[in-house]
Structure 1
């Protein structure tokens, strides 16, 4: 079976090509189990990352602060994610995706738990910086693991399933926050999130193998690769050399694609960075400030928390639908359509003051806006995984994620100004404008993921 979008098969016809073996084989239960395992890391990542947004009204009240006083704490997390995403991607491509993922989950779990003991904005900002480094480093390595354990025909969907756990973690976190914080206070939210994250870290250490495509880059890993493939239900031909997943030797691949700025990748890299920058600006503006915006419009803390839940839940549904649609129609049509739908949803909220809406209508509009924004942002990881080869996948996605964090930092600072003015309509107009830029960037990318069309039966 040869699939559009699959890694090309090359080299000696007698060689066992790891990518081709995985792409031809069924998507086994063991591969799906591994996908669930790495998704747990991102689920807790999403919970931890959005916890401050849920707790912000309580922290402002307890510490008697103005909104602007915590803008640096919000920005510190994004600054950490900038360094974490870039550094984590480089570490993943050099030392292994699993090693980088374990280190990142351990760091953000410990830092998040310690936030429950913070005594002021300075301590909070320092801990959020450390948590952000761990959070950022997790994304490119999870995306690489999901892509490299999965057949090409399901690769985009697999990457989306992992990254969609960010808004899903927000759904769980918002629901938990609406019950936990009124009873136990905001500190308990961080301690609990950190403790669960550390438990997940232990599970990853025990149960998650390294990426077979990464291991196959070195001949000394042949026995490990064969053992993992057998657990996937794939029987490699004994005694044949194991090549890189793209079907050429390591030296050949490094020569032809030695950098994300190679001639064949340069334009797509820059446009992918643009899309990440502006999509994450939209997403984190909502993550950080939407509960406060709803509280300022007269809604209580329960409604404010559940408004962000609706925003995130819409993202879960739209992203999963987007991952399926990419397999069917390709990433260009799917992602550009979602970007323009996000623009229309934001414009609708700009014209409809939330204070005048019924709760069902409010939650519906927030779910649509959050759905399409998160749908675009989540599928960007699948697009990045399709653009870059194995030798550059984690660092390529990590660099794009890091650039996106600069947009998230800007959203923290500019969002504080917009909310301070009480300009709810301006908040949603800003989202519409930046999503238009995302749509233009997506239109310009050349190497979009193609539909997974079977061209020959196997």
Structure 2
């Protein structure tokens, strides 16, 4: 038996166990930070619409419904990008598709800044959204397949935590730059971070779990060996834990009981059908409520009589609660579990979205508006952390990106519908009715998780799949 054959046999029986027994060191954190930084820039591009929609609406003289269509344009792209990227990543690998996604959103953001008409802006918001839709499910799959089970939920939740940070930074950038360069200049500036693709290309490895699952055993072995060497170096050269002595040992199997069934078909087999229905309902209603409300936050405050700078300022202030929100959720995911944390975050989102809407509709004092807004954003971003931590855990490696991608894609339908529906309902129901609709959406999502969700806390991905 030659060296390559021996290596291949070793990796066939041990990729998951070898990865799971590794301690978490600065090397895995470095990989996490690279992916999270790309996620952060992506989130800035998505979040900036909250702060510039009012200016775009004013410049082009748009009605509320037309402004809602502009806001929804990126979600058309995200719907297409999420589903496409998931299948491509399961077929061709996580790393190359992740890099392509960054190119799409970089070019899309640049062209948004160069747009001189509403139609052109909408087209390039779709392109920008396509890149963002590609990146999100792949990023969560990459982290879930590299970070050990005991830390996985916390780190994916922290990955999603870069979204509120990106949102807040986008708001700060809009606050200072909008009067100076306008919304076009902001979009052009947000295209520059796409060059980060070269960092991803150099330092982020392909998922060894995916390589093993597609039969590329020698390549998988080489990458696991590289990870082991880097972890050992980060430990100061000490011996790594024994594979057989780790909590999983040989109990982790990467066997593929469904043969070569297509990844999308596997989402609907007996073992995964209920999970797929639950996730699709969760993503659709959670994102319908979230984007229907947050995309309009700044514009709604302007409609209530606040100046542009004050509306941006108040939106940034209440968004600050997203940081403790995702940190609390990241802790609770491992302490309490995914299912219970998800239901709590959705229920809190429903309650405080309703209360915020009532405060806005009755022109309550600013203090009441800010307090209810802070609580609302606390639960909003806690909800996001659970969504991204929970979703990739529920599928096997060969269908993980596809499952996460289609769940995200269905969610983007909610994202697409939400801002437009708000634009249509606002003149009829007022702000109170808009936020009541958002609250009802979160409640439906919570019921879906409560009725059909399963717990995955502390389990290796292969255990959950099997």
Fold conserved (TM > 0.5)?
Answer: yes
Instruction: Say whether residues 1:247 and 2:244 are aligned partners.
Output: no
Q: 1:205 — aligned with what? A: 201
1:123 to 97, 120, 123: 120
Instruction: Say whether residues 1:293 and 2:291 are aligned partners.
Output: no
Instruction: Say whether residues 1:31 and 2:28 are aligned partners.
Output: yes
In 1, Cα distance between equivalents of 2:212 and 2:10:
17
Instruction: Say whether residues 1:103 and 2:100 are aligned partners.
Output: yes
Kept after mapping to 2: 8 A contact 1:112/1:127? yes
Give TM-score scaled by structure 2 length. Answer: 0.87
Kept after mapping to 1: 8 A contact 2:17/2:250? no
In 1, Cα distance between equivalents of 2:68 and 2:370:
26
Q: Deviations over 1:134-172 (max 9, x none)?
A: 110101100001111101011111111112222221111
Q: 1:220 — aligned with what? A: 218
Alignment CA distance shift 1:260-1:180 (3 Å): same
What does residue range 297-308 of structure 1 map to in structure 2 within 5 Å? 297-308=304-315
In 2, Cα distance between equivalents of 1:15 and 1:80:
38
Q: Deviations over 1:372-425 (max 9, x none)?
A: 123223311211122112111111111100000011111021011133347111
The size of the alignment, in residue pairs, is 437
Deviation at 1:307, TM superposition (A): 3.2
Greater helix proportion: 2
Give TM-score scaled by structure 1 length. Answer: 0.89
2:88 to 83, 88, 91: 91
Alignment CA distance shift 1:353-1:51 (3 Å): closer
In 1, Cα distance between equivalents of 2:384 and 2:195:
28
Kept after mapping to 2: 8 A contact 1:280/1:377? no
Kept after mapping to 2: 8 A contact 1:213/1:244? no
Q: 1:231 — aligned with what? A: 230
CA RMSD of aligned residues (A): 2.6
Kept after mapping to 1: 8 A contact 2:43/2:167? yes
Kept after mapping to 1: 8 A contact 2:64/2:424? no
What does residue range 231-380 of structure 1 map to in structure 2 within 5 Å? 231-233=230-232, 247-250=253-256, 254=260, 259-353=266-360, 356-380=363-387
Alignment CA distance shift 1:355-1:305 (3 Å): farther
In 2, Cα distance between equivalents of 1:416 and 1:14:
54
Deviation at 1:206, TM superposition (A): 2.1
In 2, Cα distance between equivalents of 1:74 and 1:304:
17
Gaps of 5+ in 1: 1-11, 454-458
Kept after mapping to 2: 8 A contact 1:327/1:452? no
Kept after mapping to 2: 8 A contact 1:246/1:390? no
1:183 to 151, 162, 180: 180
Q: Deviations over 1:238-277 (max 9, x none)?
A: 9xxxx99952345766569861111011011111100000
Gaps of 5+ in 2: 1-8, 233-238, 244-248, 461-466
In 1, Cα distance between equivalents of 2:131 and 2:175:
26
Deviation at 1:237, TM superposition (A): 9.1
